[in-house]
Amino acid sequence: MTTRIPRSLPLQASIRDLGVALLCGWLSLAGCSDGPSLSLNYASTAKDNYELAKTEFRDDDYEEAIRYAEFVRVRFPFSRYAVEAELVIARSRFGNREYLSAQDAFRQFARLHPTHEHVKNGWIAYMVAVSAYMAAPETTNILLPKHYQRDQSVLEEALTALQTFFDRYPTSPRVQDAKTLRDDIQRRLLEHELYVAEYYLNRDLAESAIGRLEAASRRYPGLGFDANVMFLLGVTYLRVEEVELARDTFAELQMRHPEHSYGAQAKVYLQHIYDRYGPADPNRARPDRSLPTPRRPTEANPKMLPRGATSEPQARTPHTGAEPAVALRSLR
C-alpha cells in the first residue's frame, strides 16, 4: 500500500523568499548605483568598499558583492566594516544558492562574533537552519529519484539547528517562522520514513518496517499523518502475527480518527481480527521476534587440515637475508 505525503512546494518557495527578503531588508540600502566595472576598481577605504558590496548585493550581483566584501575583510581586518563584510559574504552565498557554504558562513559568524546584534537576537541561528533546509534534495528532475527517496541528513541537520535556535532564542522575532519551518521539515522526514517502511514491507522485511514506523510515530506526531502511520503499523503488526498489538492499534486509530478513511478501514480490520482470532486476549502467545543469535565459527579440525598445516600459530622465521627456496622456485 502506498502512502505519500505531498511536498509543500509553496511553503519551500515562501521560505526561500522569506530568507531573501530578510537578507535584503537588513541591508536597508538607500538608492541604487550602477556599481563598479567588471575590472573591480576597489575604493581606498573600508567604508567605501563595504558600501560597494552592499550595492552589488542589492543588485543581486552576489559574486561581485562577495569580492568587495572579501577585500574589506582581508585588507581592513581591524575595521568595524570587516565584521559586517563577513555577514554580506554569508548572505550573498545564500542569495547565490550556495546553501551549504552559506550555512558554514553563518555558523562561523556566530562563533566569531557572539555579541553581534543578529547573533544575540537569533537571526543568525535561524539562517543556519534555513540554509540547511534549502540545501536538502528536491524533486526537480524526473530523471533523479524523488526527494523522499534520497539521503535526508541535511534535513536532520536543519532540524538540529532549529532545536538549538529554540533553546537559545525562545523570544526571538523569528520563532513563529522557525516553527513553520520545523513542521515542514518534520513532514518531509516523515515522508521519508514512510517510504523506507514501505520499501521494507515490499521485501518482506516486516521487522525493519515496524522499527521505522514506531520511530516515526514517536518522533513526528501531530503533523496530520498520524492515521497513515497507525494504519501501516497495524497492518504490519498483523503480518507478523502480533494480533493484540494490531487490534490495539486499529482500535486506537478508529477512536482517534473516526472520520478518516483509514479510521473506516480500521473497523473492517478489527472485524477481521475478531472473526479469525476471537476476542481480545492479553495472555495470547506472542511470536518470537528476537533477532537470531549468530553462530560461533567452529574451530579448525586438525584431521581436515592440509598435509603439513597446523591449527597452532607458528613462530615467525627470523629473516636471514635470503628468500625462501619456495619463493625462488616459483620464479623459475
Q: What is the pLDDT of residues 70-102, one digit of tens each?
A: 999 999 999 999 999 999 999 999 999 999 999
Cβ–Cβ under 8 Å, residues 168 and 125: yes
**Structural domain spans, the chain:** 27-95
Per-residue pLDDT band for 33 (boundaries 50, 70, 90) equals very low
pLDDT for residue 191: 92
162: left (phi over 0), alpha (psi -120 to 50) or beta: alpha
Lowest mean pLDDT among 22-36, 188-202, 241-255, 274-288: 22-36
Q: In the predicted model, what is the mean pLDDT of the chain?
A: 83
CA 179, 116, 30, 16 dihedral sign is negative
User: Is the pLDDT confidence value at 264 over 90?
Assistant: yes
Q: pTM of the predicted model, to two decimals?
A: 0.70
Query: Averaged over 28-33, what is the pLDDT?
Result: 38
User: Is the pLDDT confidence value at 246 over 50?
Assistant: yes
More confident residue, 11 or 262: 262
Share of the chain above pLDDT 90, in %: 64
Instruction: Note every long-range contact of 118-121, with CB atoms under 8 Å and residues 24 or more positions apart, other chains counting.
Output: 118/26, 118/87, 121/169, 121/172, 121/173
pLDDT tens digits along 274-321 = 999 999 999 998 888 877 777 777 666 666 666 665 555 555 555 454
| CB crowding 58-86: b at 16 or more within 10 Å, else e | beebbebbbbbbbbbbeebeebebbebbb
User: Helices 80-95 and 62-75: crossing angle, nearest 10°?
Assistant: 160
User: Is the pLDDT confidence value at 158 over 60?
Assistant: yes
Cβ–Cβ under 8 Å, residues 196 and 227: no
User: Is the pLDDT confidence value at 1 over 50?
Assistant: no
